[in-house]
Amino acid sequence: MEVSNLELINLKVVSYGAKLLPVVKKRTNEEIKFLYEFGFREFGENRLSDFNIHKTFYKDVDYHFIAPIQSRKLKEILKNFKYIHTISRKKEIDILEKQDTNCNTFIQVNIDNDPKKNGVPKNEVFNFYEYCIEKKINAVGLMTIPDINSEPGTVFSEMRQINEKLIMDYGFKGELSMGMSNDYEIALDYGATIVRIGSKLFK
């Protein structure tokens, strides 16, 4: 029997003790049915409009918000998502502080200092995490998206070093959300605990 792309990728991810997070942006409920039937109960979403379609059918799934945040939509995201991977501004922390939420947050790190990308600059991550602690925000991990021109191994190695220092100095939980369809295998080698894969699952 032919082994599916999904099975092969999931086997690889699980062999590292990591989690595969299927990214279901722009997909219909029918298109993502095979993921649900495989047993996945966590999906990554980029848009509230897609989430509103998917949640009507997949009600027992925990949803991860993995796109840049518009502050005016943050309250709605908090009500509906179990995880947010893209916290990067103190303004967002201030909004989070005022909400009654069990949402788990990841700090997005702009590891390449790319001016076109959201994220906390790498030299400000520790101050930003201290602000989360001060405001009693449950930051459970770090997330990054390497610049297309960067060497993924170098980026992921830097992320691992920052993560390990946070664990050592603060008792940080230390989830690492990094790696997508084109570089997830490299990310796993550098300690990713969550890889966010979309297009490769649908081939």
User: Which of 78, 36, 76 minimizes the C-alpha distance to 59?
Assistant: 36
Specify the pTM: 0.95
Q: Are 75 and 98 in contact (CB under 8 A)?
A: no
State whether residue 109 is helix, strand or coil: strand
Q: Is residue 29 over pLDDT 70?
A: yes
The total of structural domains in the chain comes to 1
Each residue of 172-184: pLDDT tens digit? 999 999 999 999 9
Q: Where are the alpha helices (DSSP H) in 16-146?
A: 33-38, 48-57, 74-80, 90-97, 125-134
What is the domain range of residue 51? 5-202
Q: Are 21 and 194 in contact (CB under 8 A)?
A: yes
Q: What is the pLDDT of residue 113?
A: 86
Q: What is the pLDDT of residue 1?
A: 42
State whether residue 73 is helix, strand or coil: helix
Q: Kindly report the CATH number assigned to the domain that includes residue 191.
A: 3.20.20.10
pLDDT mean over 121-139: 96
State whether residue 58 is helix, strand or coil: coil
State which amino acid sits at residue 89: R
Each residue of 36-48: pLDDT tens digit? 999 999 999 999 9
